[in-house]
């Protein structure tokens, strides 16, 4: 009976293996959010998992209104360089940065109600950015369309001029887009302009009817909690804020006694800044070490060496360098394969954070010296000698020349008795035993200095 069960088990295992051999492995990545650090992380992790799973193709399901240009550019580069085919399924919207990502894919499929385009670069308020930004986006869209090459008749598979018209309203596409309007394509218009292969209703239709895979296994990328947290922490705006907290915490901690909340804020910000970059392989051990050395040099400058000299300047430069290098994918300080845009992005993030810190510092001190709630924290009244104020009490000067007795051992400081009153005093030479006769010979820095009277 046991042998019979064992045979059944091996037959079932063989049958499953035989079925799996005949199936095509397809990987699906959903981009339903604004294009940014989180979606860039989704795509990168999804493409990596698809390669590990030996998937024959990746379907990128898009439904986004756009996002940041820098992350869209990184995503389109990853798609163009992917070793396996990537197909876009526009499940309603691929606007702005989403259009750039869709054009980078090997084929584009759209739902009948979907649209793509409107890739003009805008600021936070929705207003169009200056032409230098539009020029860069036009070139990026054009280059992405050209990357798919030409067909056998010598025509572009995807007309670069149509891609540019999605950015620049001045570009006219006959019978499609008049001057003064940024181009947005419907599904049927995209098919007519060869920007869409077919109109479909779902992913299964793409795989079975368009890619001709009757038997397939579909795996979907499921982002982890860490993917979402890391994506949030690597947002450039948040990274700039963390840089502000790092510099602000270090500065306030060095200017206040003890170790307290500012140090905790700076340490927490540094951990949140470096941790996702370290896990992603961007921040190396030596870069974190450079940051720590920079902080140590600043502490050394404040507490050991007076003023602000070589140690302080070196520490400040090392901290800035570590923060920038952690954002750049260099290998042992080799920048040969690092794009200039990546270095520029790192410099902008760190300098923006430092500038915000400097502005907040100036505003704080301005408020501190003015009126208002913050101004109450500062002492605005002055205590002048004309008003009767003095820096230290001077009444003890009258004890110079008087004699008394050591109330405690002076090693060299201690207590003395003069006319039955006890005072703090310092032995000018050596130690003075308790009970010895002493004479006050000097008063300096609010301190009595005495010598022993030898019999």
Convert the pLDDT of each residue in 220-252 to its tens digit: 998 877 777 877 777 778 888 888 888 888 877
Q: At 364, phi and psi to the nearest 5?
A: -65, -45
pLDDT for 26 beyond 70 = yes
| Pairwise CA distance, residues 337 & 233, whole Å | 25
Whether residue 250 sits in one domain with residue 219 = no
Whether residue 301 sits in one domain with residue 211 = no
- Contacts of the segment 327-335: beta carbons below 8 A, 24+ positions apart: 327/239, 327/277, 327/282, 328/282, 329/281, 329/282, 332/284, 332/286
Q: Rounded mean pLDDT of the chain?
A: 81
Q: How confident is the model at residue 10 (pLDDT cuts 50, 70, 90)?
A: very low
Higher pLDDT among residues 188 and 368, named by residue: 188
Establish if 11 belongs to a structural domain.
Answer: no
Establish if 439 belongs to a structural domain.
Answer: yes
Whether residue 184 sits in one domain with residue 255 = no
Look at residue 427 and give its three-state secondary structure: strand
Could you read off the pLDDT of 128-141 as tens digits, one per residue?
888 888 888 999 99
Question: Domain containing 327: what range?
Answer: 234-368
Task: Pick the closest to residue 110 from 210, 212, 208, 198 (CA basis).
Answer: 198
- Residue 403: CATH number of its domain: 2.40.50.140
Q: How confident is the model at residue 16 (pLDDT cuts 50, 70, 90)?
A: very low
Q: How confident is the model at residue 81 (pLDDT cuts 50, 70, 90)?
A: very high
Whether residue 203 sits in one domain with residue 85 = yes
Q: Which of 329, 350, 368 is the last residue in one of the domains?
A: 368
Could you read off the pLDDT of 188-221 as tens digits, one per residue?
999 999 999 999 999 999 999 999 888 899 999 9
Residue 220 β-bridge partners: 28
Establish if 149 belongs to a structural domain.
Answer: yes
- Residue 207: CATH number of its domain: 3.90.226.10
| pLDDT value, residue 3 | 54
Could you read off the pLDDT of 292-330 as tens digits, one per residue?
898 888 777 766 665 557 877 888 888 888 888 887 766
Residue 432 β-bridge partners: 410
| pLDDT value, residue 307 | 54
CA distances from 1 to 5, 7, 12, 14 (A): 6, 10, 17, 20
Most confident of 123-127, 252-256, 325-329: 325-329
Establish if 374 belongs to a structural domain.
Answer: no
Establish if 139 belongs to a structural domain.
Answer: yes
| pLDDT value, residue 297 | 85
Whether residue 165 sits in one domain with residue 26 = yes
Whether residue 407 sits in one domain with residue 340 = no
Share of residues in the chain with pLDDT > 70 (%): 80
Whether residue 252 sits in one domain with residue 319 = yes
Full DSSP string of 250-276: HHHHHHSSSS-HHHHHHHHHHHHHHHH
Whether residue 247 sits in one domain with residue 272 = yes
| pLDDT value, residue 286 | 85
Whether residue 214 sits in one domain with residue 264 = no
Whether residue 96 sits in one domain with residue 209 = yes
The tally of domains found in the chain comes to: 3
Which two structure tokens, joined as six digits, stand for 248?
A: 């602000």
Whether residue 239 sits in one domain with residue 221 = no
Establish if 3 belongs to a structural domain.
Answer: no
Establish if 69 belongs to a structural domain.
Answer: yes
Q: Which of 225, 254, 276 is the last residue in one of the domains?
A: 225
Task: Pick the closest to residue 88 from 151, 159, 148 (CA basis).
Answer: 148
Residue 60 β-bridge partners: 29, 88
pLDDT for 396 beyond 80 = no
Residue 68: DSSP 8-state: -
Q: How confident is the model at residue 113 (pLDDT cuts 50, 70, 90)?
A: very high
Establish if 6 belongs to a structural domain.
Answer: no
Whether residue 34 sits in one domain with residue 127 = yes
Q: Which of 225, 242, 264 is the last residue in one of the domains?
A: 225
pLDDT for 50 beyond 90 = yes
Share of residues in the chain with pLDDT > 90 (%): 30
pLDDT for 108 beyond 90 = yes
């Amino acid at each position: 009976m046991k042998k019979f069960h064992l045979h059944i088990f091996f037959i079932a295992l063989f049958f499953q293996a035989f079925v799996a051999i005949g199936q095509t492995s397809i990987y699906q990545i959903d981009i339903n959010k604004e294009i940014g650090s989180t979606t860039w992380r989704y795509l990168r992790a999804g493409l990596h998992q698809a390669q590990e799973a030996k998937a024959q193709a990746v379907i990128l399901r898009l439904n986004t209104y756009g996002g940041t240009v820098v992350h869209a550019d990184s995503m389109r580069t990853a798609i163009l360089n992917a070793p396996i085919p990537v197909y876009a399924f526009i499940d309603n919207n691929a606007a702005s940065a989403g259009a750039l990502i869709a054009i980078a894919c090997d084929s584009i499929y759209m739902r009948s109600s979907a649209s793509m385009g409107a890739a003009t670069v805008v600021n936070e308020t929705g207003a169009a950015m200056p032409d230098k930004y539009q020029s860069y986006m036009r070139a990026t869209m054009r280059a992405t369309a050209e990357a798919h090459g030409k067909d056998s008749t010598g025509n572009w598979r995807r007309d670069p001029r149509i891609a540019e018209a999605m950015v620049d309203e001045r570009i006219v596409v006959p019978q499609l887009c008049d001057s003064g309007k940024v181009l947005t394509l419907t599904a049927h218009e995209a098919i007519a302009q060869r920007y869409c292969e077919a109109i479909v209703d779902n992913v299964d239709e793409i795989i079975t009817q368009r890619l001709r895979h009757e038997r397939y296994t579909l795996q979907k990328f499921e982002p982890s909690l860490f993917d979402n947290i890391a994506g949030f922490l690597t947002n450039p705006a948040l990274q700039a804020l963390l840089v502000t907290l790092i510099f602000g915490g270090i500065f306030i901690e060095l200017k206040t006694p003890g170790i307290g909340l500012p140090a905790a804020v700076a340490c927490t910000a540094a951990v949140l800044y470096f941790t996702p970059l370290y896990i992603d392989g961007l921040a190396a051990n030596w870069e974190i070490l450079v940051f720590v050395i920079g902080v140590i040099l600043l502490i050394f400058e404040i507490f050991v060496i007076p003023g602000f000299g070589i140690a302080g300047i070196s520490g400040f430069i090392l901290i800035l360098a570590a923060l920038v290098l952690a954002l750049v994918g260099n290998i042992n300080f080799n920048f040969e394969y690092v794009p200039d845009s990546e270095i520029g992005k790192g410099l902008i993030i760190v300098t923006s954070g430092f500038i915000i810190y400097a502005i907040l510092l100036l505003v704080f001190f301005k408020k501190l010296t003015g009126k208002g709630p913050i101004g109450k924290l500062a002492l605005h009244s002055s205590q002048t000698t004309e008003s009767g104020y003095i820096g230290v009490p001077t009444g003890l000067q009258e004890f110079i020349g008087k004699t008394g007795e050591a109330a405690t051992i002076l090693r060299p400081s201690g207590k003395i008795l003069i006319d039955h009153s006890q005072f703090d005093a310092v032995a000018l030479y050596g130690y003075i035993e308790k009970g010895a006769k002493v004479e006050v010979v000097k008063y300096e820095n609010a301190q009595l200095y005495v010598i022993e009277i030898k019999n």
